[in-house]
Structures are given as C-alpha cells and as structure tokens.
Amino acid sequence: MYTMSPKTGKLLSDDEAIEKYVKENQWGLATAIDLRKCDPEKIRSKDVITQFSIDLCEYINMKRFGDPVVVRFGPIPKVEGYSLAQLIETSMISGHFAEDTDRAFIDVFSCREYPPQKTAEYCKKYFGAEEMEYSVSFRN
C-alpha cells in the first residue's frame, strides 16, 4: 500500500493520482477525509447526510448500490452522531459525524479511479467545514 498525506509528504494532484492508479494497475483508491469546524446543523441532520451521499456519488460518477444507510448512535459523547454507509458498485463510501466536536470523518474507497482532492474539497464545502485534511492510499 502506498499512502500520501500532508504528514507523510506531498500529495499528488488529481491528475497525478489518477495517472498513478491507472498506470500501475492499482486495485483500489482510498481517500480518508477529516473535516473540522463543520456546520453543526448539517452534521446533525439525517436528511443532509443522506442527500450528501447521493450528491457525492453523482459528483464523482459512482453508481450507488442501494440507498444510503444513515444511523445515529454513540454510547459516549465523543462518538455520538450519525454514521453513513453507502455501497457503490465499485466498493463503499462511509462516514461518521461527531457532534461533540463538529467534525466529520469520510472515507471513499473504490476500485475505479476518481479525483481525491476534488472529492475532499467537495466534502469540505458540503458540510461548511473550516478545516480539512485528507490522505490517499493506493490499494494493491
């Protein structure tokens, strides 16, 4: 596995990441997106999170396999909030929305290429996050 993040070195541009994915015949591409200082109303709304899943799939051209599953739970305040699971034909999109700290943790994994930076920026904008960090892993 090859992982890039701001902590491990330079992130590739979307074009470079897609080129690497295709040229090296990678099996999967995973992007882990951490959002901070999100709009509290958005991350506490089942309707917004559900629509986000649908909109993100459309944005990155992934075909959904069924409806998004959005469930609110958490035994302690640190993890209390909604969790998202959206199967896609090429794998899965998941997320957890931490109400205690107004943070969101979104993972996009697919065995078909997509633009990781644009995907992360889309998530940041969708949830009104003031801060965002993401990492990209090539799975082989």
pLDDT at residue 74, as a whole number: 84
pLDDT tens-digit series, residues 14-70: 999 999 999 999 999 999 999 999 999 999 999 999 999 999 999 999 999 999 999
- Cα dihedral 10, 14, 18, 20, rounded to 10, equals -20
pLDDT tens-digit series, residues 58-103: 999 999 999 999 999 988 888 899 999 999 999 999 999 999 999 9
pLDDT at residue 6, as a whole number: 63
pLDDT at 2 over 60: no
pLDDT at residue 125, as a whole number: 98
User: To the nearest 5 percent, what fractions of the chain are helix, strand and coil?
Assistant: 30, 35, 35
- Burial class from Cβ neighbours inside 10 Å (0-12, 13-18, 19+) for residue 125 reads exposed
pLDDT at residue 77, as a whole number: 83
Fold of 27-139: S-adenosylmethionine decarboxylase (3.60.90)
- Burial class from Cβ neighbours inside 10 Å (0-12, 13-18, 19+) for residue 51 reads middle
Distance (Å, rounded) from C-alpha 125 to C-alpha 130? 9
pLDDT at residue 10, as a whole number: 77
pTM of the model as a whole? 0.93
